[in-house]
């Protein structure tokens, strides 16, 4: 099997003002410097914090990269309130979360929107962290694998990539996000293995073997290792625990 380097991504969501964000990034830079970082690490602050965190990465030579939490697919123009790929690049973002369940649920993002965002990011050479996941009802009905693989197929329509590092998938069961209820490593592996098969159908077997698939949903220092032991789980997308530098650094150490 292709060796895939672990990736730990922090999703700060709508937390941290500009100065709080800079402080958190500095704390994380300090925590991570003390150990050797073997995993890839990315933090995804709110838009207004991106420039400040990018300054910390540059001046502290921090061992992490910068990601955004959303993007709009048009390059520029009359789209009040939106942010383009070029704008993200101009502040140093190299990753961008798309299709998070909170955006699908609260902001009514569709699979078609997510597909357009994925295409725009790939063209701009920003790595999409494409999120998918089922809610409690879908899981209870036993339809979680079909639901998640359909999300992936829809998001990747008309997309082809030549480098598996150009794309990251995050499987986040909605019932486990911010609830303290985690999926078991076996639950995560079942879906992540099915995602990899779907990636093979959409993008080819070789590319699929190299794409990193993250688990997300109440991931924390105490449970991350169980997930990372699974064949098809290559890291974590971390919400709450990414807001405490020492916790997030511990998770990076365990990866």
Largest CA distance in the chain: 50
State the Cα angle at 58 between 57 and 63, rounded to 5°: 45
Are residues 121 and 128 in contact, defined by beta-carbon separation less than 8 angstroms? yes
What are the beta bridge partners of residue 10? 43, 238
Least Å from the CB of residue 90 to ligand PGA: 25
Contact with ligand PGA (CB under 6 A): which of 239, 247, 248, 253? Answer: 239
Q: For CA atoms 215, 97, 199, 143, give the dihedral sign.
A: positive
**H helix intervals, the chain:** 18-33, 50-59, 85-90, 101-106, 111-123, 136-140, 144-155, 185-203, 205-210, 224-228, 245-254
Please report whether residue 240 would count as binding ligand PGA according to CB under 6 A.
Answer: yes
Q: Residue 172 catalytic?
A: yes
| Cβ closest to ligand PGA, residue 203 vs residue 217 | 217
Q: Using CB under 6 A, which residues numbered 193 to 232 contact ligand PGA? A: 216-219
Are residues 15 and 247 in contact, defined by beta-carbon separation less than 8 angstroms? no
Please report whether residue 238 would count as binding ligand PGA according to CB under 6 A.
Answer: yes
| Cβ closest to ligand PGA, residue 43 vs residue 207 | 43
Least Å from the CB of residue 47 to ligand PGA: 17
Q: Given the structure tokens 């699929």, which residue do they identify?
A: 208
Least Å from the CB of residue 96 to ligand PGA: 13
Mark residues 132-171: x for contact with ligand PGA by CB under 6 A, - for none. ----------------------------------------
Please report whether residue 70 would count as binding ligand PGA according to CB under 6 A.
Answer: no
Applying CB under 6 A, the residues found at the interface with ligand PGA are: 11, 172, 177-178, 216-219, 237-241
């Amino acid at each position: 099997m292709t060796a895939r380097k672990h990736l730990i991504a922090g999703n700060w969501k709508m937390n941290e003002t500009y100065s709080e964000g800079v402080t958190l990034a500095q704390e994380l830079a300090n925590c991570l410097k003390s150990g050797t970082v073997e995993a890839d690490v990315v933090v995804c602050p709110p838009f207004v914090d991106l420039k400040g965190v990018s300054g910390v990465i540059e001046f502290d030579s921090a061992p992490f990269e910068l990601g955004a939490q959303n993007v709009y697919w048009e390059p520029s123009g009359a789209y009040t309130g939106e942010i383009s790929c070029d704008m993200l690049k101009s502040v140093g973002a190299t990753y961008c979360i798309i299709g998070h369940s909170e955006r699908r649920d609260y902001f009514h993002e569709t699979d078609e929107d997510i597909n357009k965002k994925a295409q725009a990011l790939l063209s701009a050479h920003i790595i999409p962290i494409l999120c998918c996941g089922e809610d409690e009802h879908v899981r209870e009905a036993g339809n979680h694998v079909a639901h998640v693989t359909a999300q992936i197929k829809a998001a990747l329509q008309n997309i082809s990539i030549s480098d598996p590092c150009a794309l990251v998938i995050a499987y986040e069961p909605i019932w486990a996000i911010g609830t303290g209820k985690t999926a078991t490593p076996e639950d995560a592996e079942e879906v992540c293995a099915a995602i990899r098969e779907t990636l093979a159908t959409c993008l080819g077997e070789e590319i699929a073997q190299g794409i990193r698939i993250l688990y997300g949903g109440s991931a924390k220092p105490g449970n991350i290792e169980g997930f990372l032991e699974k064949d098809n789980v290559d890291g974590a997308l971390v919400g709450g625990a990414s807001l405490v530098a020492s916790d997030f650094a511990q998770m990076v150490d365990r990866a």
